[in-house]
Amino acid sequence: MGRTKRDAPEEATGDDLWHDAGDSTLSANIIRNIRASLFSGKLTPGAFIGTESSWAQQFGVSRMAARDAIRTLKAAGIIHIKIGARGGIFVAAANPDYFAEALAIQMQLIGVDLAEILDAQIAIEVTAAELAANLATPQDIETLKTLLVDMRSNIGNPGPFTEIAMQFHEAVIAASHNRVLLAQFRGLRHLLLPHYTRHSTDEVARRAVASHEELVRHIEGRDAVSARELMRKRLHVIRERQLVHWRSTAS
């Protein structure tokens, strides 16, 4: 039985949503329209945006072209498909983990080097430390303190220690309440973790814990200037040490 008018979810389509994308392949025209509507705010997560047959009709293309566009948009994480009487094409919900992995993969594929990765980390985390000192909630600070306890108990275990240390860095950025910084760091984290794990020692771990304890004091004390400066100095030291290791193994 086909979809009834009563059962059908309201479709986010119309003259204000779709536009002429100019000279492009038939499926690319659909993809370009969906992306443009998403970036302009006309589409929101969970919105119903039609079916394969309705796209074919709206865009004046074959169902095969509509199917190709659906396949591409689904692979990009932009849409998801529901099957059944109330099924169809819907704007996907946000998935930060999907974005982080995709960003890391693309950075790896374009061949970014370690210096670029570390410079990006500094840019993100220095800003985040300052914001965290201004915006961290009591729960954010409690999370940081809990991770510090876990770090101390894992000195001597490079793998677990490094993983928890990266969680601490991510928690600082989460405490900034800036989702753009957090999403970018999650992508970088995939690339940073192998380097940090490889060169972790007990002495490095102890210095990291001491530095992180001081950072938490600055954040809890709302000292944004000191939090920013501490993070900047610490990450520049890490950058130089990591680059020395990297260059020695690359030569």
Q: What is the pLDDT of residue 251?
A: 61
Q: What is the pLDDT of residue 86?
A: 85
Q: What is the pLDDT of residue 16?
A: 52
Q: Which fold has domain 97-250?
A: Four Helix Bundle (Hemerythrin (Met), subunit A) (1.20.120)
List 80's β-bridge partners, or say none.
90
Q: What is the pTM of this model?
A: 0.77
Question: CATH for 26-91?
Answer: 1.10.10.10
Mean pLDDT per 10-residue segment, the chain (251 residues): 46 53 70 93 93 92 93 91 90 87 91 95 98 98 98 94 95 97 94 87 93 98 98 95 85 61
Structure tokens at 210: 């001491």
Domain boundaries, the chain: 26-91, 97-250
Tell me the three-class secondary structure of 125-157, residue by residue. HHHHHHHHHHHCCHHHHHHHHHHHHHHHHCCCC
